């Protein structure tokens, strides 16, 4: 399904969004987060900021991060299967970075499977650079995680538009 990016809307996730988010999680990840995990993030984690990407009122992607001091840690980011390959993950990550800057972050970090070259290319495009390995990070297959960090360019991100 082709998307007109001018039709996209970004907003903060609410409890009412969780069922749609879990469905995307299950499409995207071999060890998806549960309804309980997202509920806990929204209700009990004061560091958590979760965004949804909507098209005509339908959630087609989301991303989450924890903002602690001046650092943002991306927890998850995913786009619905039907909408992948159109640059929407790129837009979503840009929105997370702008939101992180809004909340005072100067740096952003994440972990990504060492085998996930597609995601690594996206992250590099957004200024992320490898900084280490977390051995056996992923519990489903004991795969290592590549740790990546990016300096957030406040001026560029404040003025950047979709």
For the beta sheet containing 8-12, the strands, ordered from the edge strand earlier in sequence to the opposite edge, are 8-12, 48-55, 58-68, 71-79, 107-113, 145-151, 129-134
Closest CA to 92 of 57, 56, 125, 138: 125
Q: In which region does residue 81 sit, left (phi positive, over 0), alpha (psi from -120 to 50) or beta (all else)? A: alpha
Q: How far, CA to CA in Å, does 38 sit from each of 98, 121, 150?
A: 22, 27, 25
The dihedral sign for the CA sequence 145, 115, 73, 22: negative
Residues serving a catalytic function are 111, 123
């Amino acid at each position: 399904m082709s998307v007109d990016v001018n039709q996209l809307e970004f907003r903060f996730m609410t409890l009412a969004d969780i069922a749609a988010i879990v469905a995307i999680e299950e499409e995207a990840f071999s060890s998806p987060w549960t309804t309980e995990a997202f509920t806990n993030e929204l209700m009990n984690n004061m560091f958590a900021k979760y965004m949804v990407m909507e098209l005509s009122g339908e959630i087609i992607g989301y991303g989450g991060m924890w903002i602690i001091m001046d650092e943002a840690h991306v927890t998850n980011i995913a786009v619905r299967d039907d909408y992948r390959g159109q640059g929407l993950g790129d837009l979503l990550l840009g929105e997370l970075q702008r939101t992180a800057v809004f909340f005072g972050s100067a740096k952003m970090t994440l972990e990504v499977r060492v085998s996930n070259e597609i995601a690594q290319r996206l992250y590099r495009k957004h200024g992320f650079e490898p900084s280490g390995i977390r051995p056996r990070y992923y519990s489903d297959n004991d795969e290592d995680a590549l740790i990546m960090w990016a300096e957030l360019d406040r001026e560029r991100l404040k003025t950047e538009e979709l």
